[in-house]
Amino acid sequence: MPDPLRDSPFMRACRREPTPYTPIWLMRQAGRYMPEYRSLRERVPFLDLCKRSELAAEVTVTAANRLGVDAAIIFADLLLIVEPLGFALEYTNGDGPVIHNPIRRSHDVERVRELTSVEPLDYVLRAVELARRALPDNIPLIGFAGAPFTLASYLIEGGASRNFIHTKTLMRTDGGAWHELMSRLAHALARYLNAQIKAGAQAVQLFDSWVGALSPDDYRRYALPYTRAVIEQVAPSAPVIHFGTGTAGLLEAMSEAGGDVIGIDWRIRLDHAWQRIGDRAIMGNLDPTVLLADVATLRQEARAILGQAQGRAGHIFNLGHGILPQTPVQNVVALVEAVHEMSALPGREERTSNMYEENLFGGDHESTL
């Protein structure tokens, strides 16, 4: 019996199977660039919005339907998990997230509670359930969490950082404390992601937003083992998207850490990145600022990325990071329509199937755009 979700273009691309066109979704596709979202935020603080399951689900579904994307991502935040871990989280106007009791000394790691139950995050799981129920039956829902290094950085720095001085100092001066912290986070994150899958997510994304601050050697030593531990524990029924920013120097190591799909930003060409990660699906990688330009320009930039993909099976179109608040909604819709239009070429499924087989055996292929 056909399964609309499993057979959707997004899920097929995650498995590197041929698709009728290149699927597209966009990070922060439910966000401040949308008038409806801004209006809601005037009445509801951000953290409250995340914790009100009905509203979080509504924001998720509204964005996906409005844009015509091929997947929805649950409206939530990377740092929601830190509260049940024992941290005081606040979102301040203009300054973003603040953690009032950060980790600064080795013994502070003992304050990190074990996530023995996902019950404190039931509001996220309820939002997943509601969104899954409301979405069309051929639009997958993506759950997500922060990767261990990014989450640890927030917990140690107390918020965003440029140089990650406190984080790097702890990881280099106390290997035991670092291992204990990262192990606890990896265990909690795997449990949280699996709970989202059980609640109705078809795929999950691991955001390593700050890992680009590490050198390749430091990544392999201090981050890779724990990211791999999370990914290996995720239920095999759900593809894992492994995404980071500023990671052009880390792609081989990120691929080793795992993930069915490797997400990249605009700092590296998509075709060059694909050569380096090998037989993995890839997600990316338009610079979000392109969406501030005119439609002709964004179509040109999108065409260039599709040209780099060469119609190869396993490409999910996305931005290299989230949609910027200044972005016109009509430009986002135009991008989605352009990707669908320009990638839906006659005979694509048959051609990409042959190209996929050729690629497995080392064959070359020509651009289809």
Catalytic residue set: 28, 32, 41, 77, 154
Question: Which tokens go with 314?
Answer: 């396993």
Place of tokens 């997004």: 10
Q: How far apart are CA 339 and CA 179, in angstroms?
A: 43
Place of tokens 């996220």: 124
Question: Which tokens go with 262?
Answer: 């490797």
Q: In what order do the strands lie in the sheet with 281-283?
A: 72-73, 141-146, 203-208, 240-244, 261-263, 281-283, 315-316
Question: Which tokens go with 279?
Answer: 């037989």
The maximal CA–CA distance of the chain, rounded, in angstroms, is 62
Cβ–Cβ under 8 Å, residues 48 and 342: no
Q: How far apart are CA 208 and CA 150, in angstroms?
A: 5
Specify the DSSP class assigned to residue 28. Answer: T
Beta bridge partners of 321: none
Residue 144 φ then ψ, to 5°: -160, 170
Question: Which tokens go with 134?
Answer: 């409301």
Q: How far apart are CA 28 and CA 359, in angstroms?
A: 33
- ∠ CA 96-243-229, nearest 5°, is 105
Classify residue 254 as exposed, middle or buried by CB count within 10 Å of its CB (0-12, 13-18, 19+).
buried
Specify the DSSP class assigned to residue 324. Answer: P
Question: Which tokens go with 172?
Answer: 């280099």
